Structure 1
Amino acid sequence: MRKLKIIEHISLDGVIQHTDDGGNFPYGDWTPPYRTPEGRDAVLAAYGESFDLLLGRHTYDLWSDFWPKAPSSPMADRLCAATKFVATHRPESLDWGPFEDLGQDIVEGVRRVKSEDGPDLVLSGSSTLTSTLLEHGLADEVVLIVYPVLLGTGKRFFADGTPAQSFELASTQPMPSGIVIITYRTAGPFTL
């Protein structure tokens, strides 16, 4: 069975938004000041040598506009080679492959993909999908790449109404730039 890892670049106050998206977000692309070769290598290690992607449609569209045109690099090459399992109502418009539509029932689609042979799955960039996966016990790990900034506004990591969850700390890795990479294993519903 494949493992599903959620990896997210996140501010101290839980913001994961990186683009304006036609709204009023003033901090597009806020992560570059903290990027270092050490951080890049740590993020590559978190993704792993081989993986497939689980993406919401919005993230798929953003990434398909960038990564296929990006210069060759370990991250670009791995993302482009990965099979993209996409939550979408418009599968006929997918073109950055290899890809596969998860189908109408996203939860069952993810269960099916997890049960198949193949590399582990990585989800990044979709708070709605993240919350659904956690609610249904489908995520195995959460890797937070935490930046030393408060943004005060923007799309948050977890959607409102995400059920309470418990996590076990697996590792922490501080970077010289102030970023901390924190890996948690899911531990089930939160109870008092």
Structure 2
Amino acid sequence: MRRIVAAVFVSLDSVMQAPGGPQEDPTGGFRHEGWVAPHFDEALFGVMGKLFEKPFDLLLGRRTYDIFAAHWPYVKDDPIGPMFDRVTKYVATHDPESLTWQNSEWLGKDVPAALRKLRQDDGPDLLIQGSSELIQELLEHDLIDRFQLVVIPVILGNGKKLFGTGAMPAALKLTDSLVTPKGVIVAAYERAGEVETGNFGAEHPSEAELERRRGLAEMERRRKSA
């Protein structure tokens, strides 16, 4: 069974837009393109090398596919270029005829169904790079098996975020972690069943607490009836 792995550069406030450099993705007036570069060091290069050392295929949204297709086929002095040329690129797009990069495959009109089928096949992991809009769809359908988050110590304020409002609740377990000399936190999480809850409240709530709860319930009732 294949896993879907989201390997994501993310800020402390969950922004993942345009980490690589100027003009990567200025949509929405984003002004901080290239926010990852100043935090790269030997340790982080090692993390990325380890990520790519195992067999993988790429899973990309259309915008990230276009960014990669305009860059990596023309980079011959970095082993990532030939590597990305060689692997299969599965792409979510409404325009499959324009997928001109070699070894590119259209996921079809029903992306979640296509990925459920791919996950059942034998083969390498499906590695997501960038692709914030595709990630939202996969989170909504509970289709991401592993997150590798590279958390950069910056707050960006706005931009495309890793976790939107449609993510399906799930428990995760930390399977690997590292802190680089520049303060970057690398954390890998895998699925761990349902979200567990507990209770730090008093066994016998005070009347003030009961009144607070009644107030919240009334606010929610009004919200739903509005």
TM-score of the superposition, structure 2-length normalised?
0.79
What is the CA–CA distance in structure 1 between the aligned matches of 2:139 and 2:146, rounded to whole Å?
10
Q: Return the offset for 1:56.
A: 0.7
**Residue 111 of structure 1 corresponds to which residue in structure 2?**
116
1:42-191 pair list within 5 angstroms:
42-191=47-196
- Two-structure CA RMSD over aligned residues (Å): 1.6
Corresponding residue number in structure 1 for 2:215: none
For 1:77 and 1:146, locate their aligned partners in 2 and report how far apart those are by CA, in whole Å: 27
- Kindly state the Cα deviation for residue 124 of structure 1 after the two structures are TM-superposed: 1.7
- If each structure's helix is expressed as a fraction of its own residues, which one has the higher value? 2
1-structure distance, mates of 2:86, 2:40: 24
What residue ranges of structure 2 are gaps of 5+ in the alignment? Answer: 19-23, 198-226
For the pair shown, which has the larger CA radius of gyration, 1 or 2? 2
> Per the alignment, do residues 88 and 188 of structure 1 end up closer, same or farther by CA in structure 2, a change over 3 Å counting?
farther
Separation in structure 2 between the aligned mates of residue 46 and residue 127 of structure 1, nearest angstrom = 19
Cα distance in 2 between the residues matched to 1:47 and 1:191: 33
Tell me the equivalent position of 1:38: 43
Deviation at 1:171, TM superposition (A): 1.2
Question: Against the structure 1 CA distance between its residues 115 and 124, is the aligned structure 2 distance closer, same or farther, given a 3 Å change threshold?
Answer: same
Structure 1 regions of 5+ residues with no counterpart?
none
> What is the identity, as a one-letter code, of the residue corresponding to 1:60?
Y
Contact kept? 2:179, 2:186, Cα under 8 Å: yes
Contact 1:44 1:75 (8 Å CA) reproduced: no
Aligned residues: 192
- C-alpha separation between the residues in 2 aligned to 1:65 and 1:77? 14
Whether contact under 8 Å (2:139, 2:166) holds in the other structure is: no
Which residue in the other structure is 1:14 paired with?
14
Post-superposition Cα deviations, 1:44-86, rounded to whole Å, max 9, x if no partner, equal 2123332100111111111111111123323223222210000
**Which stretch has the larger CA shift, 100-109 or 64-73?**
64-73
Structure possessing the higher relative contact order (Cα contacts under 8 Å, 6 or more residues apart): 1
Post-superposition Cα deviations, 1:74-119, rounded to whole Å, max 9, x if no partner, equal 3223222210000111100001120110011101111122222221
C-alpha distance in 1 between matches for 2:63 and 2:196: 33
CA contact (8 A) 1:14 1:157 kept: yes
Greater fraction of residues in strand: 1
CA distance in 1, matches of 2:143, 2:27: 31
